[in-house]
Structure 1
């Protein structure tokens, strides 16, 4: 098809995920003429809500589930009509001890936590170590998190800001496994701590690359507290209000528009895109912000591809239940156990074994995973009839399942992994999960699973990597630029998860790219 005449903008944003929408809202509110081009037929990227099951009135957060890293500053700056709710329970981890069924329930109440640790381990030792460890992390979070929406500090500046050499060594210099093993003795407690280092990250606790440390850091500093909160109305509520805010400020949002090429000399740029009917058009811009992976950016610029990112390593499962399942541990109400993060097969030794199996090219025999029930905290995602009947959602995030394990036969590997993952959960239930699953309008169980290769196909995540590439420590290095969003071209910026301080539902790369454009 012939290329049509070009339009001229101050900024063209490639990709309408939440970071692209944050950038669009900031720039449009600053009076810039902004165009957002999104390949899919909707905005939101991975931060969307959807009616996943035919004929069922439940709007699930399909890919991203919880919010930790979104700064209140962005919510205030953009006047977003968006809220989160805190969960009463941090986590529950079922286990067996001395022939008895038990578990560790961690809440926001110190007195109850002390008793929970004592019942599990027989002493106060692990509880005291837990309090000291997370007290240190809380202090680090309060000092590091505010830096994420400013120019990148140097390593020395961030170290001085942390002002705790032992904490710096634990998080930035030595594998996190050393800190965990040096502070905790109980295998289950060690595993609960380690899981934050492995979300979407295929690594051993002692990986010398410190990939696991960087993942851990971003999972414990959110909001300056490390809390993981439930988005009211589902994750789509955030991206819907971001899109509305950007439009209200004058930004143009075009879905079904796939960007094919970016041409730039560093001062002016042209973006070639194709509409759903096959028409190719040009948009000229002073700046181009790319809310996509660095691999995608290189392809659009015609540059050699960068080093392939670490592969994604997660299984994502959405479910709708008629009721929460009964637990073998009768001391815990299922509504409490599933209100936070429900850990399955995530003891320290279990995590090590699963990693070793996957590294050897085998699906883990006892796949580790964690489960969240969002509808307990925010029932608004359920239709009134479902809520009245006691229906609940469950979302499961599996660990140590790298993309390579699905390359030969994605469908078969997905089915095998899902079956074994649910079997691990069933081992802690007093009834099969299958008996609790709702069915859709066609009578099919309400459950869907996504492998890394599914995420690559549906969302364009290279290798299914939810962070676009390896996470970076939040300080400047030689090639990171002032804001961590810069590229080799002065007027082409990364505004997605692949930027420094990217990853997670944060809006931080979008904010930082907008600040770079505005000369802040």
Structure 2
């Protein structure tokens, strides 16, 4: 007899686990099928280097978009820590840098004044922060509710100038008008480019949508460090889902989905190699829409999760994890490396450098000086290091390289060569700002290899099912209804053309990032039907 569940969730990442926990707590029978050896998807902690007890947040690093309401409602044993230093950005070719201290406005002003020679950029920076908080206060409360109309969100913002600056006009225009200095403007611009291959002035406004999601978290835009690593979150979610009665099956490779408005069937190969088919009252896709489409096609289902006219997804980043014996000293001796690396360390991210890197990548070349952002989680949360590493002074570094789109690595014959070139150039660019080569600080693993792990977009696709490495599953969407694209006001942004098929992953409206919002909303949409 074919087993039957009220809901079968394809993909056990953090969003799938959130959906499972909510549905199971409501009394629904739930099965979660996860391809990986453990649940968690991209939000996991791993010991990436043999013989070394460091639990790295391998793929996703920081938390901003996870509502406290989800943590409270699911009774999660999970916490985050605030970073005092927002960012440090060294100035290319000098021994100076820009330090943004989230708790000391005077220190930030002094650093900007020393860089720019005046107060215009700090005044613009402060005004920018004020306006983004206004956006956040209007948008953030809507994320766990049915989709509002565009007009309702604009009215909630209550300032047409702010709305026009961030929603109607390319982000580059707004930043150029407020931040005269090339470096300061670039630091602000990066929030619109993380995982998004675009320019500041792109007419599609993809950069604006990316920027919006980066500044609305918690109603403040703060990005925090998960205590215990990102795996602490997915571990707590898995515990909540199991406690409520959901069945979680890691090592289950879904092969096909057949679904219509009344329900469907999901066929998968289990960890033991046995092929099974289960019946589902509803199927929730925690995987990317493009992945879901392939499974639907394999199951003979005509409906698709993607919409006509959607651009093909493409990731645009290189991810590098490193384990150091110590933090390297900076060329800028006025700044303690513990301050510089405890926030976001920007490399090669002036506005002009970002544009140059984009143009080189658009021509098909690995940028000569790739821009990147670096985080040292162990400074804020030493618990991710084992006692021996902690006592030795070891530190983790996680690097996110920008403007390295999947197209650069698409040819299998040259993938490894281009990856090596991208890694070398990215780390060389960091070395320009250090007083000691990074290589001198690298630990070696039990096999004697340097502790450097790098992932191209193609490897993220292979390992996690992110289409062409797109960390958002597809282009981010405005967090409100869009009737022209079939996204109706009052819907949850998770619906498809088939009533029994819902999205619960990052590809839903209001998806992207570590948030749990799509998982919550898919569960609410299904429960609302009774």
Normalising by structure 2, report the TM-score: 0.95
Contact 1:215 1:471 in 2 (8 A): yes
Counterpart-to-counterpart distance in 1, 2:404 and 2:429:
15
Counterpart-to-counterpart distance in 1, 2:55 and 2:241:
23
Q: How does 1:16-415 map to 2 (within 5 A)?
A: 16-96=12-92, 100-108=94-102, 109-302=104-297, 303=302, 306=306, 307-408=310-411, 409-415=414-420
- Quote the residue 1:484 is aligned against: 493
Question: 2:140 is paired with a residue of what secondary structure?
Answer: helix
- Quote the residue 2:469 is aligned against: 464
**Residue deviations 1:137-194, cap 9 Å, x none?**
0121111111111000011111111111111111111100000001111000010000
**Residue deviations 1:292-328, cap 9 Å, x none?**
1111111222248744533100000000000000100
Question: 2:242 is paired with a residue of what secondary structure?
Answer: helix
Question: 2:96 is paired with a residue of what secondary structure?
Answer: strand
**Residue deviations 1:326-358, cap 9 Å, x none?**
100000000000010000000110000000000
Number of residue pairs the alignment of both structures matches: 514
Q: Structure 2 unaligned segments of length 5 or more: list them.
A: none
Counterpart-to-counterpart distance in 1, 2:55 and 2:15:
22
The CA deviation at 1:373 is 0.2
The CA deviation at 1:257 is 1.1
The CA deviation at 1:277 is 3.5
**Residue deviations 1:446-485, cap 9 Å, x none?**
0100010010110111111001111000011121240000
Question: 2:48 is paired with a residue of what secondary structure?
Answer: coil
Question: 1:120 is paired with a residue of what secondary structure?
Answer: helix
Contact 1:343 1:369 in 2 (8 A): yes
- Quote the residue 1:432 is aligned against: 437
Contact 2:320 2:452 in 1 (8 A): yes
Question: 2:345 is paired with a residue of what secondary structure?
Answer: strand
- Quote the residue 2:507 is aligned against: 498
- Quote the residue 1:417 is aligned against: 422
Contact 2:30 2:247 in 1 (8 A): yes
Contact 1:89 1:336 in 2 (8 A): yes
1:515 aligned to 2:524? yes
Question: 1:150 is paired with a residue of what secondary structure?
Answer: coil
Contact 1:80 1:241 in 2 (8 A): yes
Q: 1:8 aligns with which of 1, 4, 9?
A: 4
Contact 1:38 1:255 in 2 (8 A): yes
Counterpart-to-counterpart distance in 1, 2:263 and 2:450:
52
Contact 1:295 1:308 in 2 (8 A): no
Counterpart-to-counterpart distance in 2, 1:250 and 1:369:
42
**Residue deviations 1:89-139, cap 9 Å, x none?**
000000158xx5211000121111111111111111111111111111012
Question: 1:254 is paired with a residue of what secondary structure?
Answer: strand
Q: 1:451 aligns with which of 448, 456, 478?
A: 456
Question: 2:368 is paired with a residue of what secondary structure?
Answer: coil
Q: Report the more deviating stretch, 293-302 or 52-61.
A: 293-302
Contact 1:321 1:446 in 2 (8 A): yes
**Residue deviations 1:247-299, cap 9 Å, x none?**
00100001111112222220221111111333221211211111011111112
Normalising by structure 1, report the TM-score: 0.97
Counterpart-to-counterpart distance in 2, 1:361 and 1:256:
37
Counterpart-to-counterpart distance in 1, 2:181 and 2:303:
48
RMSD: 1.2
**Residue deviations 1:230-261, cap 9 Å, x none?**
00000000000100110001000011111122
